Structure 1
Amino acid sequence: MKYIIILGDGMADEPIEELGGKTPLEYAVTPTMDELAKKSEIGLCHTIPEGMKPGSDTANLSVLGYNPRQYYTGRSPLEALSIGVDMKPTDIALRCNIVTLSDDNLPYEEKTILDHSSSEISTEDAAVLLEAVRQELENDTYKYYVGTSYRHLTIWDKGEVVELIPPHDILGRVIGTYLPQDEYLKDMMKKSYDILNNHPLNIERAKKGLNKANSIWFWGAGTRPALKAFEEKFHKKGAMISAVDLLKGIAVGAKMEVVEVEGADGTLHTNYVGKAMAGVKEILEKNCDFVYIHIEAPDEMGHQGSIPNKIKAIEYLDNKVIKIVKEQMDLSKVPYRMLIMPDHPTPIYCRTHTSDPVPYMLYDSTKELNHSWNYNEAEARLSGNTVNHGYEIINKLFEV
């Protein structure tokens, strides 16, 4: 038996008036998921432990079978593992987003945060801008490292885990009350605006109609993580396919194989087919027992507040990932179990993560089930199936 998780990041949502009271998942045209739902167990899964913040870090740890209360030490340290930064026990990792603040004559504290991803900036452009910041601000205490797209890393030597606000939680708001209490961190953010706002690359981006990537934003502080190896924990060889450093970092920490896919960038236009085929290859050709295929686009479209693009991301997931994985696995005649779910909701109305339970769908190619279910939030709720601890969902997949 082979095992597959296909995770649509932030795919779950709330009913939307413009969609006739349907969620994007209900509204989207998803023939493959519709077909699978008739042959699958569906239900709700609580991926976020009560009292913990609803991040992709805690949620994906849960889905992978790691209790966040036991294993979570912060988001940025997981990304440090992916980038290859060897953290000292005294290091603090900080997520260093490159964001878009309003380009006006107001003081820094009175500016508004417009876009947490700077028009989904390319890694190449972001690297140029982060290098400009690094040249001006890096010292023996603070080191800057390039990640992917808008997601980068700062290591604070002998730092402390301070309370910091994720930029995607405050889109459209004046930033003053959300800035770090630590004066040096705040000062670096302010100076970064002076470095970046009129950088030649940002002038060119503005001419193209793209948002300026004009400030760094610190968040997600944490200490060096220590995850138990996935194969030791579950006795299965696993592989991770994701464009996002956070997911790659979890995989590195869990000693899973990290599979790089050309053109996979975490955006709406990522290489969906390439990721699907890479997952199939790991299962059928490289003797992996388990593969985790992570698709970031629904979450990004939720943060952007784009109803059409969130629907499109879900439809791409259905047609370019789930359909291909199912077709290839069925052709191989290899028995498999496949779990399809989000990690958390990213509702359009608030443009950030919530802690509500998410719908899951568990398919077994060896079982003949015949239901009338469709896969969406409402019907998952009606099913009566509930996984109260997200880190136990993988036990259902593995039939433990």
Structure 2
Amino acid sequence: MKYIILLGDGMADEQISELGGMTPLQAAVTPNMDYLAANGVIGTARTIPEGLPPGSDVANLSVMGYDPRQYYTGRSPLEAVSMGVNLGENDVAFRCNLVTLSDNVKYEEKVMIDYGTEISTPEAKELMEETEQRLSNDIIHFYPGVSYRHLLVWRGGPERSDLTAPHDISGRLIAEYLPKGEGYETLICLMKESNKFLPVHPVNLKRIRKGLRPATSIWLWGQGKKPALPKFTDKYRLTGSVISAVDVIKGIGICAGLEAVEVEGATGDIHTNFRGKVMAALEELREGKDFVYIHVEAPDEAGHRGELANKVKAIEEVDKMLAELLKGLNQFKDYKIMLLPDHHTPISIRTHSSNPVPFVIYANGVNTNSKITAYNEEAAIKSDLFLATGPELMDYFIRG
């Protein structure tokens, strides 16, 4: 038996007036998702435990079968693992976004214009190398990642700082969201200092001439120490791989003992190699893997940016991926596929919510005679099937 999870990050949403009262999932043309609903099992699952933030880190940890209440230590240490940064016992990792702030003279009076400037990885590497050169010391170092997503590691740093994810404050004055709690003075100082040299860096000046947004500051959040996860193979007796353009997802997979597969052209936004992820997944299965976890970030990015048309488009791209998967999976005798988002990313609030997510599971050769003919939030709620945690969902998917 082959097991495949296709996860459209943040696909779930609310009813939107511009779509005639439909959600993006309902408005999108998704014949392959609807096929799974009509021939599989549909339901809802709670992926965000009560009291934990509804982030992709918590949600994907949960979907992958690990209780975040037991194993979650923060977002950045998972990203550090994916980036190959070895964290020591006392090291605290922080996510370091390259953001665009307004031009107000006083830092506290600036507005979060863009939480994750769409900057190329080579451009970002130059900016982060400059940041490392200017702001690092014996205990603090910066590491370049992909696009706007980077890393700060602080040896013996604070774990209990009160930090805010920049995608939660789009369009807002940053003053009340600046770091608080342990180590806040150092963190604010680093952010302010970056704003002195990043706006005038040659990379940003060139971007401005092209009409592109410059990355004018770093923004620090998501701190934590390296987690210790039981191996996925030990839990489910399956070998597997994870396919994602996002370091936090790859980091969860690596910590779980899965192989992280790199796909050329995978970016984490709407301009990504959707088909390449499918081809890579099928190749992993052909080479003997039992399980593949395919993560697609594009719907979530569109939700955070309030881009309704792009969110619908991203969902339709996920449906095309599903078509390719179903076609390619015919080479295997038995397989099961689960489609779901990790959390909701409503356009109306441009951030995550912790509502239960719709999922559908399809097994080839099994006719469930489902009375539900579409995959969306409303259809899933009509089902009697509800699973209270992500680990319960994974157990249900793998073990039945």
The whole-number CA distance in structure 2 between the counterparts of 1:387 and 1:210 is: 44
| Separation of aligned partners in 2, 1:54 and 1:216 | 23
One-letter code of the match for 1:9? D
Structure 1 position 363, deviation (Å): 0.5
User: How far apart, in 2, do the equivalents of 1:272 and 1:398 lie?
Assistant: 25
AA in 1 matched with 2:352: H
- Counterpart position of 1:155: 153
Distance (Å, rounded) in 2 between the aligned partners of 1:267 and 1:325? 20
- SS of residue paired to 2:157: coil
Find out whether 1:215 has 2:212 as its counterpart.
Answer: no
Alignment-derived partner of residue 139 in structure 1: 137
CA-CA distance at 1:160 after TM superposition: 1.2
Secondary structure (helix, strand or coil) at the match of 2:162 reads coil
- 1:160-201 C-alpha deviation (Å, 9 max, x unpaired): 111210000111000011111211110110010111112121
Tell me the CA shift for residue 333 of structure 1.
4.0
Task: Tell me, in whole angstroms, the C-alpha distance in 2 between the residues paired with 1:50 and 1:333.
Answer: 39
> Contact 2:198 / 2:215 at 8 angstroms: preserved in 1?
yes
Per-residue CA deviations over 1:221-256 (Å, capped at 9, x if unaligned) read 101110111101111001000011001111111111
Aligned-partner Cα distance in 1 for 2:369–2:59: 30
Contact 2:167 2:304 in 1 (8 A): yes
The question of whether the paired residues in 2 share the 8 Å contact of 1:163 and 1:221 is answered with no
SS in 1 for 2:194: helix
Distance 2:104 2:318 in 1: 42
Q: Return the alpha-carbon distance in structure 2 between the equivalents of residues 305 and 223 of structure 1.
A: 32
Partner of 2:19: 19
Superposition map of 1:32-181 within 5 A? 32-102=32-102, 104-118=103-117, 120-161=118-159, 162-181=161-180
CA distance in 2, matches of 1:24, 1:31: 14
Q: Which moved more, 1:197-206 or 1:293-302?
A: 197-206
Kept in 1, the 8 Å contact 2:45–2:388? The answer is yes
Summarize deviations over 1:113-140 as a string: whole Å, max 9, x none. Answer: 011111x211111111111111110111
- Tell me, in whole angstroms, the C-alpha distance in 2 between the residues paired with 1:399 and 1:82: 28
Name the SS of the counterpart of 2:113 in structure 1. strand
* Partner residue in 1 for 2:384: 384
> How far, CA to CA, are the matches of 2:383 and 2:300 in structure 1?
25
Map of 1:278-317 to 2, 5 A cutoff? 278-283=280-285, 285-317=286-318
Cross-structure match for 1:327:
327
Shift of 1:343: 0.3
Structure 2 spans left out of the alignment, 5+ residues = none
Q: For structure 1, list consecutive stretches of 5 or more residues without a partner in the other structure.
A: none
| 8 A contact 2:40–2:367 mirrored in 1 | no
Distance 1:25 1:398 in 2: 26
Residue 388 (structure 2) pairs with residue 396 (structure 1): no
Partner Cα separation in structure 2 for residue 24 and residue 203 of structure 1? 37
Q: TM-score, normalised by structure 1?
A: 0.97
SS of corresponding position for 1:38: helix
Equivalents in 2 of 1:23, 1:100: separation in Å? Answer: 30
Q: What is residue 357 of structure 1 aligned with on the other side?
A: 356
Provide the residue aligned with 1:2 in structure 2.
2
Distance in 2, matches of 1:345 and 1:144, equals 31
String of CA shifts for 1:2-42, please: whole Å, max 9, x gaps.
10000000110010010001000110011111122100111
| Corresponding letter in the other structure for 1:326 | L
Structure 2 equivalent of residue 234 of structure 1: 236
TM-score, length of structure 2 as denominator length:
0.97
- Aligned partner of residue 322 in structure 2, secondary structure: helix
Matched residues, number:
395
